[in-house]
Structure 1
Amino acid sequence: MRICHVNLAGGFSGGERQTVNLIRELAGRQHQQTLVARPGSRLFDELAGLPGLEFRSCKHFLLGHTAGAWDLIHCHDGKAAYWAYLERRLRKTPYLITRRVDNPLGKGRFTRAAYTAASRVVCLSNAIAQSVLARVASATIAVIPSSFSGFEAVPADVSAIRQRFAGKRLVGQVGRLLEHKGYQVTIAAAQQLAANYPDVMFVFLGEGPDEDWLKQQAGNACNVCFVGHQNNVGSWLAALEVFVFPSLHEGLGSTVLDAMQHGVPVIGARAGGIPDMIEQEKTGLLVAPGDAPDLARAIAGLLDSQPRREALSDNATAQLEAFSPSTIAGRYQDLYTAVCTA
């Protein structure tokens, strides 16, 4: 099958990591793939040398329509949907859109046309599906979650991280430093726990536009540490006692799956697609969005009970096959076939 992947995002975050995961998996299934991305995109570096993959640069969705002979187009971000819609008009090439966020679709005519003409709109979670249908009731929806990324945990790195915070138990959060990710909620919970849990350190991995504001929220808190962007995310996850993900809204949040893969018990907010990954009191804990006292109680409850932490992580690990890169690629491959044979 000849598949054109389009991702015109300006940066590299969770959606781009998922694009990489899928293209790598499909490469092992003998598909011919093309990736259309912005000039200088990190996607090109991540996928350099992959067999059967052609690269094309495109600055804008209005550009790059001079040639193409694909069986279908897979759109991995919002601007890509417009690019594929134009290809559909030019060459009748079918396309599908992966929608990764649960915020409402734009109300513009171009957006409605692009989502109406798509053969499928793949939503990472049921919350995203509801959001899409609220704007485009005629959209043909499929729900396929993100995969875990399989970040490696290097034992020497894990030991070095624990030595860096010797005598401390680590509670961590990973992702872009944005208000909607709920870091300020974690900071407030850390401040509430500081007196009774002096051996606990909260570590935040990531960078983002709200970093200065979040550091102001933390003030002089001695139990909060911003460690910035880290290339060895798997090692950091493996060093944690508890992983928190208190987003105020979230399409899915695949970092939760990455933490689960490393045997770390997870606490997430009951928001967006997060409950699609966490079954309360079985594979993790869910707390009210924006509720720092609720988050603090949940963290304390896990820190106080190793058997409970182990039970949650064991149950979470048992469900991970459904979120593996291989399983997710297989589901997309089946969808591609259904679209191309319709």
Structure 2
Amino acid sequence: MKICHVNLASGYHGGENQTLQLIKQQAALGYELTVVANPKSPFVAAVRALPCRVVLANHYFAAHAASVTADCDLVHVHEGRAIYWALIQKLRHGVPYIVTRRIDNPLKKKWLANIAYRKASAVVGLSRDIVAKIQHAYPQLSPYKIPSSPVTYPIDETEVNDIRSRFKHRFLVIHAANMLQHKGFDVTIAAAKALQEQNANVHFALLGDGKAREQLETLAAGLTNVTFCGKQSNMGSWFAAADLQVHPSYTEGLGSVILEGLNSGLPVIASRTGGIPDIIDDHVSGLLIEPGDSQGLATAIMTVQANPQLRETLCAGAQQKLTSFRIEHTAELYQKIYQEVKSSL
């Protein structure tokens, strides 16, 4: 197959990591790949290390030469603005495209978005929740559901030992995400406040940065069981060093960092929202709380801490659950869509 992937994000977050994961798998399978990417993003350096042709575009109006997709079977769009790039390329050069939608926000039915979704040969949502939102906005579509896949990070044993020494004799709970309002760091801090006197052995390491950090630091003032560690580039070591991961988001498209934690062997407590229940079956592959329920989070943390057998059960259930999320499986699902689109032309 000859595929052109498009991701025009200027930063590098979970969506870009997932796009890269699929590209790596397809390259290993022998696909001929073109990648259109924003030169401002670290994503460019990552794809340049792979056997791909890289085309730079900092806007969806850029890089619309026929030669970019001349030999491609289709374009695969991975980020919001990129759908307009694919639409323009189709209108100018007749190349079909499919869209993967990763966020669970309601779709804004602007006139250009309406055209872009109607012209797509296929639309994919990462979760049941995203698929439902696509169908609500565009009843004429029949979107597919293909989830993200867990990324495996390297582990540095020296770093693991350093982290464990830093939080020695503590049950280490990590919350890793961009520090944005919807990621629920305020819920984690409220749970820490509830546990500070009830359970002195629990310590929270908040891994991330963002525009909400200053407000969150103010919220956590006076707490001795919370450490703001900033954004980390060594998540494999943190996953290996921690005892538990929490992710009490208010909204979540799917939760790739949850997949990464589960894949690393951590038990996870997360909120029952968005695509998270696609990953976590309550008391089977993790624990679920209601969004915003800090006391429920605190109680769940104490339950997991006090019950090693429960931790083992949840981790075993998570490994079973992850079989349908592995990149080998999700890449095969995408291949079937590619083939359907190609055969329909």
Question: If the length of structure 1 is used for normalisation, what is the TM-score?
Answer: 0.97
State the Cα distance separating 1:267 from its structure 2 match: 0.6
Work out whether residues 248 and 270 of structure 2, in 8 Å CA contact, stay in contact via their aligned partners in 1: yes
Farther-moved stretch of structure 1 (272-281 vs 81-90): 81-90
Q: How far apart in 1 are the matches of 2:49 and 2:304?
A: 44
Counterpart for residue 2 of structure 1 = 2
Q: How far apart in 2 are the matches of 1:160 and 1:166?
A: 10
Counterpart for residue 271 of structure 2 = 269
Counterpart for residue 129 of structure 1 = 131
Q: Match of 1:319, SS? A: helix
Task: Give aligned-pair identity as a percent.
Answer: 40
> 1:71-150, aligned counterparts within 5 Å?
71-150=73-152
Work out whether residues 250 and 271 of structure 2, in 8 Å CA contact, stay in contact via their aligned partners in 1: yes
Farther-moved stretch of structure 1 (14-23 vs 56-65): 56-65
State the Cα distance separating 1:88 from its structure 2 match: 1.3
Counterpart for residue 324 of structure 1 = 326
Q: Match of 1:40, SS? A: coil
Counterpart for residue 240 of structure 1 = 242
Counterpart for residue 47 of structure 1 = 47
State the Cα distance separating 1:200 from its structure 2 match: 1.2
Counterpart for residue 282 of structure 2 = 280
After superposition, the C-alpha distances for 1:57-107 in whole angstroms (9 at most, x for unaligned) are 112111211222121000000101111011111122111110001111112
Matched AA of 1:27? A
Q: Match of 2:182, SS? A: helix
Q: Match of 2:198, SS? A: coil
Q: Unaligned regions of 5+ residues in structure 2, if any?
A: none
Q: Match of 2:10, SS? A: coil
Counterpart for residue 161 of structure 2 = 159
State the Cα distance separating 1:49 from its structure 2 match: 2.7
Q: 2:341 aligns with which of 330, 339, 342?
A: 339
Work out whether residues 119 and 140 of structure 1, in 8 Å CA contact, stay in contact via their aligned partners in 2: no
Mapped pair 1:37 → 2:33:
no
Q: Match of 1:228, SS? A: coil
Farther-moved stretch of structure 1 (94-103 vs 150-159): 150-159
Q: Match of 2:317, SS? A: helix
Root-mean-square deviation (CA, aligned residues, Å) is 1.1
Q: How far apart in 2 are the matches of 1:301 and 1:105?
A: 38
Mapped pair 1:211 → 2:210:
no
Q: How far apart in 2 are the matches of 1:164 and 1:105?
A: 44
State the Cα distance separating 1:318 from its structure 2 match: 2.0
Q: How far apart in 2 are the matches of 1:130 and 1:179?
A: 24
* Matched length: 341
Q: Match of 1:88, SS? A: helix
Farther-moved stretch of structure 1 (330-339 vs 99-108): 330-339
Matched AA of 2:279? M
Counterpart for residue 195 of structure 1 = 197
Q: Match of 1:295, SS? A: helix
Q: How far apart in 1 are the matches of 2:128 and 2:198?
A: 38
State the Cα distance separating 1:140 from its structure 2 match: 2.8
Q: Match of 2:112, SS? A: helix
State the Cα distance separating 1:153 from its structure 2 match: 2.4
Question: If the length of structure 2 is used for normalisation, what is the TM-score?
Answer: 0.97
Q: How far apart in 2 are the matches of 1:236 and 1:5?
A: 31
State the Cα distance separating 1:202 from its structure 2 match: 0.2
Q: Match of 1:202, SS? A: strand
Counterpart for residue 59 of structure 2 = 60
Work out whether residues 40 and 58 of structure 2, in 8 Å CA contact, stay in contact via their aligned partners in 1: no
Q: How far apart in 2 are the matches of 1:4 and 1:219?
A: 48
